[in-house]
Chains A and B, each alone.
Chain A
Amino acid sequence: MSSSESPAIEPTGVDAATVDRLVTEAERDFAAATTSEELKAARARHLGEKAPLVLANRAMGHVPAALKKEVGARLGAARARVGQAHAERLEAIAAEELGARLAGEWVDMTLPVDLVPTGAPHPITALMEQLGDVFIGMGWEIAEGPEVEADWVNFDALNISPHHPARATSDTLFADPVDHHLVLRTHTSPVQIRSLLTRPLPVYIVCPGKVYRADEFDATHVPVFHQIEGLVVDKGITLGHLKGTLDHLADVMFGGVRTRIRPSYFPFTEPSAEIDLECFVCHGASVGDPEHPCRTCSSEGWIEWGGCGVVNPRVLTACGVDPEIYSGFAFGMGVERTLMFRNGAQDMRDMVEGDVRFSRSLKGGAR
């Protein structure tokens, strides 16, 4: 379009009142627009090529030089006001329209969103990892060994004499024939022997793993279960170090509870002791208080947790470690048992029957 076309308004006639009227009309039209289409049409009327203000601007060439400055400024300000009014209305309408669209896109955000089935580790696996982490945090390492084990490693090296009742076929599962001296390990202690034979001293290890006994299978016994054992052999190790370690483990796993050890007997430790855990539920408050019995500790105040002791020098000797220079301690506890009192498992059979409800119940961990 050429500038020679006749303008709708004579530039010289672009007086202030006319301009104000045009601006007011534009503002009124924009405000009246309720959709982006209506606003678009209003924009064409007031800011489009045929819009009076636009045409007036285009006709500035015809304005006498003396008035140019004044008229130019007036038109510029007017166009800026109209442009501003349009932009504001545009933003408002866009926001309204977006709001309306999103409101229409409402979905029930409580719908289930299962993209994969609900998986879970076995609580025993999760608990063993957690127990292991306590010791990794102390700078210890995790040791492993075979489940079919030579009976020298499982028994003899641990000072369990050939006549010990635990070595009877009524207690221990043997590979056939018995005189080939292979057993299904009855504890994770053979891993201690392997560690002493193959690792450089000092040794600070834990060995979690599966163990086997020719035992009943009922609510409180399983013939295949899991243990975690710890072994330290270093210079100057004492029973006090064992107590410190057990207290730390109990604190991490159960939160602010103590352990107690009381004398007992195991062939592989001397002195030997039983480990009791202070009841982490009642902290002993239920003892002698029949009004408030504690199910976790049967109102005993303590829970039997495992066995421990100073490594018997005979064990060190069988592994070529000089008991005159080194001493050590060892401890062990059942993982199933720990799970039972820590997480309230009621029936041992649940741990081996593979019911998905059992594994899923701890929601991914043995917290």
Chain B
Amino acid sequence: MRAPVTWIRDHAALDEAMTGRQLADALIRAGLEVETVEQIGAEVSGPVVVGRVLSAVREPQKNGKTISWCRVDCGPAANAEAAQPAPEGEPASRGIVCGAPNVVEGALVVVALPGAVLPGGFAIAARKTYGHLSDGMICAEDELGIGEDHAGIIILPDTDAEGRPITPGQEALPLLEERDEVLDIAVTPDLGYCLSIRGLAREAAQACAVAFTDPVTRTTPPAHADGFPVRSETSGCPLFVAVTVEGLDPAAHSPEWMRRRLTMAGMRPISLAVDVTNYVMLEIGQPLHAYDGDRLTDGIVVRQAAAGERLVTLDGVDRALDEGDIVITDGSGVIGLAGVMGGEDTEITEATTRVVLEAAYFAPVPIARTSKRVKLSSEASKRFERGIDPGAAFAAAHRAADLLVEFGGGQVTGETVYGAVPVPPRQRVAADLPARILGHPIAPVEAERILRASGVDVALDGDDLVLDPPTWRPDLVDPYDYVEEVGRKTGFDVIAPVVPTAPAGRGLTPAQKARRALTVALPQAGFVEVIQFPFAAESELDRLGVTAEDDRRRLVRLANPLADTAPYLRTSLLPGLFAAVARNAARGQTDLALYERGLVFFGPAGVAPVPPVDRRPSEAEWEAINAALPEQPEHLACVVTGQWLPSGWAAPAQPAQWRHAVHFVETVAATLGVEVARLQDAQAPWHPGRCARFIVGETTIGHAGELHPSVCQAFDLPAGSAAAEIDVSALMAAVPGPGQLPTLSSYPILKQDVALVVSEKEPQAAVAAALREGAGDLLESLALFDVYRGSSIPEGSVSLAFALRFRAPDRTLTEAEATAARDAAVAEAARRCGAELRAV
């Protein structure tokens, strides 16, 4: 809502000295979001006077434009100072070049004389142009910063607002009401009445503790039908006022002041009837519609639309109607989409002399629904959606009729009131509730005073306030709505801040602690976290090589995806990470170790019930809601490409490899304290021979390895890139309880090394596990220290060298004991893995 401050002042007795900025601050404090305070005409300085065009000679130019060479009477003083006096025998004047098509002989215009400075620092001076010395400028609205209009120059009327004649030479700016300030206010949905000068003036008066003059002075009389016949067949329209004005002069124009205010409010002046309906809507908040009375047939009937009905609206669009729409009809059928937009057929025209003004109350929900359905948000629908004041409909219709009569001639010939003003619901509120909820001592009498000033009818009944809200406040329903009203008018700034005392908290949950530990550990291990959009395409899964049966095909589809190319929710973090690699590569960063932690989504999703909200959902309803949600586990994934470390002074480059991806997972497991085992596997999108599966107990928690060459190709990754993806929810579920610290043995250690020859397809993890098992309790640790392939062992086999360390908790081990344990270990490795002892 754009509100000129002068218009607000018409109804709120604000201090003369108060600036627009100060008013804005007062309104902001009361909860109105004033986005800008615009200065109108404030940047004009220097001489700007009224001039009368004595002659205007059209002169076509080579550039295709036509200019007018004018002699303008700018008043005796200005005429005397003319750079080039008028030719002998002609009246005193100044010569001015004007490019506007509407400059005509005899017109009263606004002239900026040399020395004037217009908005934007535009200094006026006498200058040579189009072969003449132009001795001033005839101004258009936009040049003075008072409007957008640049179609032509401003043509002044013969008399000012008080009826005094306007004469050349007088100062023009006061005539233009040029100085004003416009507040642009984003009105919240609960304060629909502030989409009017009336509402804003009431708030302003209350906020500044000054008198308010209500532009609505007439109350709605009981139903009667002295005018155009009207009937409503829908509960969506409980009140309809129709006022008929006849004998209008179709050529009549809106007065300049009205056009100016409309312009400042952001509406384009069109014709008297349209301007008047808009003006009254802005002033009172009641949307009005003007029908051409001669184009209406029979009476008006308001009803729900029938399926299949259509209407061509004012904007020329032929629209299919829906049974939920409220429509205005006459004998010819549908003539308007109630509260949203009128129809073409009954629109007023340049020939209209008989106008039927509609001022109706339409219920917010159906109007919002229709406006949303037809994707048409009009000034009217914005107001009906938020709830207008039905109590003002009658007054608004008459205010508009009076303006039509005043400026267009004619007379009011009839009025019809159908229905009645709905009575807003009464509420009973404990008088101390505002103080209790706001945390500020507000005496019941003070609450009562504030509510009365807001238009609420207040009665005290024991400890309760009995409250009847005014018709313009449909937002005052619940007790807390009144708390807000009292709070808003008291000001939240006076409430003392108090830190509430929470009960003893339990700190972070184990999962939260785990995540925080990962936020430290993974960057320390060399990985950079990224956050990607979680949207996915099937083609990404194809490129990953994921089969039709794979869980990752259990996609959840979006009904209205942001991009049609990614209509699903992700089931894997990898495509997003691959895209991040590509973006980094395009910016010259090719050595990358990226990771992401986030939810993935596995269908199918169910249908969620929608229980009522006047009670807690039942256990069954709550379970059904949760059962309808898709599975949403938290995943953690990484990708490594290029060089893990570039070539340096101390060491050659280390290419990013599968072991970095594996290390990522092992870092996660170690950080969380979970024992994770690694098995050989073959799974998309990994290289079939270079893919590890991680298990906790029997549960697979993810994979890591080198990416399949075709995947690297499909995602534009360097060959040899590696990746890992794990279900970190599953891993966190396996986080053990408090660990047990060992008793440390201080007896000496015995070291034994073994080299075992096994088939090269035998995983070292299996050999290590066998050794560990076979060695028994005396084995303290075991480490692989060499992997050898070569001529001294059979082809297709590999030699694995392990360092075994033995220690007993209670005695010094003998060499014989350690050797026996080692032999048992080797025997177990031989039994399980076919290992042969190569060397001791």
Contact = CB atoms under 8 A, between A and B. Distances in A.
Contact of B498 (A241, A312, A351): A241
Nearest to A178: B559
B744 interface: no
A354 interface: yes
Contact of B437 (A112, A136, A243, A327): A327
Nearest to A158: B613
Given A139-B505, A265-B188, A327-B437, A163 B365 contact: yes
Given A239-B492, A240-B498, A241-B498, A159 B589 contact: no
B614 A317 contact: yes
Interface string B551-575: 0000011111110000001000000
Interface of B is mostly: loop
A148 B629 contact: yes
Given A119-B593, A150-B608, A182-B628, A352 B531 contact: yes
A262 B29 contact: yes
Contacts of B622: 197
A224 B524 contact: no
A354 to B, nearest CB: 3
Contact of A244 (B499, B520, B522): B499
Interface in B177-192: 188-191
A157 interface: yes
Interface residues of A, number: 101
Given A240-B495, A247-B497, A142 B584 contact: no
B645 A238 contact: no
Given A139-B503, A243-B495, A263-B488, A354 B559 contact: no
Contacts of A234: 500
A97 interface: no
B129 interface: no
Contact of B533 (A125, A223, A314): A223
Contacts of A146: 599, 629, 632
Interface residues of B, number: 108
Nearest to B649: A111
B629 A360 contact: no
A219 interface: no
A232 B502 CA distance: 9
B233 interface: no
B558 A270 contact: no
A271 interface: yes
B560 A152 contact: no
Interface in B781-829: none
Given A180-B607, A262-B29, A262-B31, A245 B365 contact: no
B519 A125 contact: yes
Nearest to A236: B436
A245 B758 CA distance: 66
A223 B484 CA distance: 32
Interface stretch (B9-17, B208-216, B391-399, B475-483): B475-483
B504 A119 contact: no
B593 to A, nearest CB: 5
A14 interface: no
Contacts of B583: 353-355
Question: Which of A124, A182, A204 lies at the interface centre, i.e. has the most chain B CB atoms within 10 A of its CB?
Answer: A182
B172 interface: no
A318 B439 contact: no
A117 B593 contact: yes
Given A112-B649, A359-B530, A181 B496 contact: no
A264 B33 contact: yes
B628 A173 contact: no
A122 B488 contact: no
Contact of B438 (A116, A152, A239): A239
A132 B503 CA distance: 17
Contacts of A248: 499
Contact of A240 (B369, B440, B580, B649): B440
B438 A148 contact: no
Interface string B464-479: 0000000000000011
B129 to A, nearest CB: 35
Interface string A158-199: 010001010011000111111111101000000000000100
B608 A152 contact: yes
A260 interface: yes
Contact of A354 (B493, B502, B516, B580): B580
B578 to A, nearest CB: 10
Contacts of B437: 238-239, 271, 310, 327
A237 B502 CA distance: 11
A29 interface: no
A234 B28 CA distance: 30
Q: Closest 6 interchain pairs by CB?
A: A320-B616, A263-B31, A238-B439, A240-B439, A354-B580, A119-B523
26 contacts: A116-B524, A119-B529, A120-B528, A121-B522, A126-B519, A132-B512, A136-B505, A141-B505, A147-B601, A148-B569, A152-B611, A169-B559, A173-B560, A175-B558, A240-B438, A240-B439, A240-B496, A262-B29, A263-B484, A271-B488, A273-B31, A319-B616, A354-B577, A355-B584, A357-B589, A364-B523
Interface of A: 111-122, 124-126, 129, 132, 136, 138-142, 146-153, 156-157, 159, 163, 165, 168-169, 173-182, 184, 197, 202, 204, 210, 214, 217, 223-224, 232, 234, 236-241, 243-248, 260-265, 270-274, 310, 312-314, 317-320, 327, 351-357, 359-360, 364
